[in-house]
Amino acid sequence: NLNENQEVANQNLIDAWDMKDAEARIIIFCNVEGPQQTLIEGCASSAEMWERLILQYANAAPINGNLLLEKFFNYKYNPG
């Protein structure tokens, strides 16, 4: 938003948002393992980091689910 002097009227809100985004990026980066850190390095925002993580693991989720079902159906009862 620009005011009558063509200056950004809500710069304080933008700065606060940027600070929260930087904090979120630090939290995400510090709480994932090395391979995931490599995946999200260079992201410009926490939203972009989250999107990359979701895309990476959304594809793996159905595969993991199928493997779990396969293990379940191959499970044999052991009376001991």
42: in domain: yes
Residue numbers of the domain that contains 52: 11-74
43: in domain: yes
54: in domain: yes
pLDDT at 36: 92
Would you write out the chain's pLDDT as a tens digit for each of its 80 residues?
A: 667 777 788 888 899 999 999 999 999 999 999 999 999 999 999 999 999 988 887 766 666 667 777 776 777 666 76
5: in domain: no
61: in domain: yes
38: in domain: yes
Give one DSSP letter per residue of 39-62, joined into a string.
HHTT-SSHHHHHHHHHHHHHHHHH
pLDDT at 54: 85
Q: Which phi and psi angles does 10 have, rounded to 5°?
A: -115, 40
64: in domain: yes
* Number of domains present in the structure of the chain: 1
Where does the chain show beta strands of DSSP type E? none
pLDDT at 58: 72
28: in domain: yes
